Amino acid sequence: MITSGVSALEANKFAIINSLLFVLTFYLIPKRYSILGRDNPKVIKFRLICTLLVGLTSIILGYYKALELGLFSRFESKWSSYKALFKLLGFQIPNLVYTLKPLYLTVIVYLGNLLELYFMNQLPFQAHFYWKFDFVNVILSWIGFRNYIWGPFIEELVFRSCNMLLFQFTNLSTFKKVSLTALYFGLAHVHHGFELYRKGEPINKILIITAFQFSFTSLFGSYCSFSLLKTKSVYGPILSHIFCNVMGLPTLPDETLSKSRRQLIISIQLISLPLFIISLIYL
Model pLDDT, residue 166: 95
Higher-confidence residue: 35 or 211? 211
pLDDT at residue 4, rounded to an integer? 57
Predicted TM-score of the model (pTM): 0.91
Residues 17 and 115: their CA atoms lie apart, in Å, by: 42
Q: What is the pLDDT of residues 26-45, one digit of tens each?
A: 888 887 877 788 889 999 99
Per the model's pLDDT, the better-predicted residue between 73 and 119 turns out to be: 119
How would DSSP label each residue in the chain?
A: ---S---HHHHHHHHHHHHHHHHHTTT---HHHHTT-TTSHHHHHHHHHHHHHHHHHHHHHHHHHHHHTTTTTT-SSHHHHHHHHHHHTT-SSPPHHHHHHHHHHHHHHTHHHHHHHHHTT-STTSTT--IIIIIIHHHTSHHHHIIIIIHHHHHHIIIIIIHHHHHTTSS--HHHHHHHHHHHHHHTTTTHHHHHHHTT--HHHHHHHHHHHHHHHHHHHHHHHHHHHHHS-SHHHHHHHHHHHHH-S--PPPTTS-HHHHHHHHHHHHHHHHHHHHHGGG-
What is the distance between the alpha carbons of residues 148 and 29, in angstroms, rounded to a whole number? 22
* Residue bearing the bigger pLDDT, 18 or 93: 18
Query: What does the domain layout of the chain look like in residue ranges?
Result: 8-282
The confidence score (pLDDT) of residue 148 equals 96
Question: How does the average pLDDT of the chain come out, rounded?
Answer: 91
What's the Cα-to-Cα distance from 269 to each of 112, 128, 153, rounded to whole Å? 5, 23, 28
pLDDT digits (tens, 9 = 90+) for 89-145: 999 887 888 889 999 999 999 999 999 999 999 999 999 999 998 899 988 999 999
* pLDDT higher than 80, residue 198: no
